[in-house]
Amino acid sequence: MQLLDTLDAALRELDAQHLRRHRRTAESPCAPHVRVDGRNMLAFCSNDYLGLAAHPAVIAALAEGAARYGAGSGASHLISGHSRAHAQLEERLAAMLAPHLEQARALYFCTGYMANLAVLGTLAGKDAEIYSESLNHASLIDGARLSRARVQVYPHADMDALAKMLAASQAKTRLIVSDGVFSMDGDIAPLRELLALAEHHGAWLVIDDAHGFGVLGEHGHGVLEHAGLRSPHLVMIGTLGKAAGVAGAFVAAHATVIDWLVNRARPYIFSTAAAPAQAHALLASMDLIEGSEGSRRRAHLRALTQQLQAALQLRHWHYRATRTAIQPIVLGENAQALRAAAELQRHALWVPAIRPPTVPPGTARLRVTLSAAHTADDVDRLAAALNQLDSEAGHAS
């Protein structure tokens, strides 16, 4: 049983560093007011930024999709699992992103994690170079490793460092890879500068817009719409389990890139297609995102964000206001962040403490996420509790 002893010791070590992870069990749909582990809580932790996960129209479409297409796809896309619902969703997504790409097409994946492994593992080979932003999501880091390309990490938003790396490179295939909205910080990547560098150096720009799609841009098309970008050098990944409220992800790019992924991307080829009902439900999500209800929900989300920014008066903790639904409060040490999350829980507020390796050591934080499903009263309650805990933190130190 030596292996189990080793694991036990490693888990105890995680405990000692306040890094042990535990799950909570929700007993109600994803919404601001949830029942979790037998308690009613007000939650600020999901990525359901528009409140679509429990939207009646999306739930109805999921049921309708199951009635029409069954519960499962039965096979991978290249065998027999590709359904009319998947095809319609891909056409819809391609049309949404068409203003930003050349010959836009889209490919639906089971998860964003798989989409990122697929894009980097397929577009970058052994002879390629990947320029990876230091705060990129784990799935991009893993995709870069899987590609076996040479990987260079540039410091957060440091365009001078990136320009120097590109200028020094001889590689024929080069990919600049960045989150569009940084998942644990909520800030937006310098997209215009990134695209200018990509075009100047003949590189691809791969943007993972997990937290911008649905939220940013007049029509909710994400960071590319927000920044007004268009280029044949762009590859965009959007996730569909966050603002879109269901599950899965898509890659949008030039038709040739998509064809290459269909033929070569192992995470796409060797995996069972997501349930067609999910794609059918996502068509309803896209109607909401692009329609007047989506505009109203985005406006409400922005108003809640401004309300929180105006209400928070933190003197000890470091609040980083952003233009997105992600509002981080950086405390520093793991134990501090855990203690703050536990205190909030006593107020029946559910805010996750985010620790390394998800964020760099010494920057443990509360990651507050707002949703259009929150009310102004919800945000008032959160702000009051945070202000109180912050002032108590001052007395303690």
Ligand X SMILES: *Cc1c(COP(=O)(O)O)cnc(C)c1O
Closest residue by Cα to residue 206 from 98, 270, 124, 109: 124
Geometric angle at alpha carbon 386, from 381 and 388, rounded to 5°: 100
DSSP designation for 45: -
Should residue 121 be labelled a site residue for ligand X when binding is judged by CB under 6 A?
no
| CB of 250 or CB of 350, closer to ligand X | 250
Q: Smallest distance, Å, CB 223 to ligand X?
A: 11
| CB of 207 or CB of 385, closer to ligand X | 207
164 annotated active-site: no
Which listed residue (55, 100, 137, 242) is catalytic?
A: 242
Of all residues in the shown chain, the one whose CB is closest to ligand X is 112
- Write each residue from 198 to 237 as x if it is in contact with ligand X (CB under 6 A), else as -, in one continuous string: ----------x-xx--------------------------
Should residue 46 be labelled a site residue for ligand X when binding is judged by CB under 6 A?
no
Should residue 249 be labelled a site residue for ligand X when binding is judged by CB under 6 A?
yes
CA distance 44 to 382: 9
| CB of 69 or CB of 108, closer to ligand X | 108
The residues in 134-153 that bind ligand X, with binding defined as CB under 6 A, are 137, 139
242 annotated active-site: yes
Closest residue by Cα to residue 119 from 235, 40, 19: 235
CA distance 260 to 212: 26
List C-alpha distances in Å: 25 to 29, 200, 369, 372.
11, 49, 19, 23
Which of the ranges 35-43, 112-120, 121-129, 216-224 carries the binding residues for ligand X, by CB under 6 A?
112-120
DSSP designation for 100: G
Closest residue by Cα to residue 154 from 172, 171, 129: 129
395 annotated active-site: no
CA distance 252 to 108: 9
Q: Smallest distance, Å, CB 52 to ligand X?
A: 15
Interface contacts to ligand X, rule CB under 6 A: 111-113, 116, 137, 139, 179, 183, 208, 210-211, 239, 241, 249
